[in-house]
Amino acid sequence: MNSITGFQIDHPHSPDRIASPLTATEVAAAVRSELSSRSPLIAVQSTGHGRTAGMRSGTLIDTSRMNDVAVDPSTCTVTAGAGARFAEVMAATAPHGLAPLSGSFPGVGIAGYSLSGGVGLLSRKYGFAADNVLSAEIVTPDGEIRMASAQENPELFWALRGAGSNFGVVTSLTMRVFPIVEVLGGSIEIDLRVSPQAGQVWREWAMQQGRDMMTAAAICSAPTSAEDLPAFLRGIHQLRIQVAWSGGTELGRAEVARLEHALVAAGAEFASSIDVVPFARTGEIFAEPDEPHSYGSEAFFLPELGEQTMVDLIEASTPDRVPTFTVIGLRLLGGAMAKAPETANALGHREATWLFSVLSPLNESEETPLPHHLTIAGELGASEIGDVLLGRSLNFTFRSLDAKEIASAFEPDDLTRLRSLRDHFDPHRVMLAQFAV
């Protein structure tokens, strides 16, 4: 990956200048240098997974070299540079029998993921990643290095954990890590052309799970005429169930067996690859692509996932109804994520019990939002649920959003507070925030 594109190669940056600092002092120098320009503008990028639009002038601060990781086993915390990826954090914490609140892909950077929420493999047990950030070092848009925590700059600390890129360049985070060495994890693959009833079986099983179980499902589909795809993906309509159980292994095996028995009873055919996995290898559970590419998505928090909605989503994603490879994602929330953290933050919609997303790769001529993504998202309006969209999930939205769409990610009072804080810390709008409040 390079500084201009990063992992998401759609809408690359084209800045006037690129800074690749190693320290917060160097970040501050880059910010102050940009402030002396005629029209100062600063964007920050680590891995570039979540970039939604590229800058066209100003300074890009590439934090990818700021990847030092220090573990304190005595306090179960880790301090990592903003350029560190979760794979590096996992490698550092594993020898101490500890695990971070990493997500489905260990190649993601810690800063953007954690400060936009962070729905991880252990989040039903321990909360959002943002809930477990204890402090942040940040260079604010005036070029000053500040610490933000519950004790120091508490208003800034509140705002960072939910809307981070609006307030400066985060240079390091201190986060809780947890005594998890391994999980019972893996996936179950089902051909929906043969067993369309499997989605309903999984949904009902998932809603009975406690905090030790992370479970998600991906509905993958592609048109039979998709010549740009490998032959084995053309015409696919597949359900991929992912699980990660962090409790006692035998209890977890019993829960997985209960799901598999329910699938058999419903007449569903499936292939299962669930077993004990060291936490450092949990990227294998979702097995997401690890090569940079272009992609776009929509993502929403849901209060519930009704029976008819599940049926509608499966029907809306059949190979004859999607123009390109499409992945509908459904992740079970709740558990510790529904509980307010010890130190409040700006994350919204804790009452959500599901996270919905729909993602596709992009070609050079495509603009987002993709029409078929909006059509599929429209299936969430089932009458049995009523007003189903609580708001946007910024972590899983990979396209530019307008002000109204961004606003939907936050509680109204929190949005007012965030805007006031942005006016205070960045009155001249020096920061090119990924999702500007």
Those residues whose C-beta lies under 8 Å from the C-beta of residue 307, and which sit 6 or more positions away, are 200, 203, 384
* DSSP codes of every residue in 59-73: EEEE-TT---EEEET
In whole angstroms, what is the distance from residue 200 CA to residue 369 CA? Answer: 28
Select from 427, 276, 414, 249 the least CA-distant residue to 347: 414
Angstrom distance (rounded) from CA 22 to CA 64: 9
Q: Binning pLDDT at 50, 70 and 90, where does residue 1 land?
A: low
Q: How many angstroms separate the CA atoms of 35 and 143, rounded?
A: 8
Asked if 7 contacts 292 with a C-beta cutoff of 8 angstroms, the reply is: yes
> 8 falls in which pLDDT band (50, 70, 90)?
confident
pLDDT at 49: 83
Q: What is the mean pLDDT of residues 23-39?
A: 97
Q: What is the pLDDT of residues 146-201, one digit of tens each?
A: 999 999 999 999 999 999 889 999 999 999 999 999 999 999 999 999 999 999 99
Question: Using CA atoms, how far apart are residues 209 and 216, in angstroms rounded to an integer?
Answer: 12
What is the Cα–Cα distance from 294 to 102, expressed in whole angstroms? Answer: 23
What is the rounded distance in angstroms from the CA atom of residue 240 to the CA atom of residue 398? 21
pLDDT at 383: 39
Pick from 337, 358, 341: which is nearest to 349 by CA?
337
Task: Give the largest CA-CA distance in the chain.
Answer: 69
Q: Strand 42-45 and strand 59-62: pairing?
A: parallel
Rounded to whole angstroms, the Cα distance separating 234 from 227 reads 8
Query: For the chain, what is the mean pLDDT?
Result: 94
Is residue 297 within 8 A of residue 327, CB to CB? The reply is no
- Return the DSSP state at 47: S
How far is the CA of 228 from the CAs of 3, 113, 325, in angstroms? 28, 31, 10
Query: Whole-prediction pTM value?
Result: 0.95
240 in Cβ contact with 189 (< 8 Å): yes
| Helix H or strand E encompassing 2 | none
- Location of structure tokens 């909006």: 374
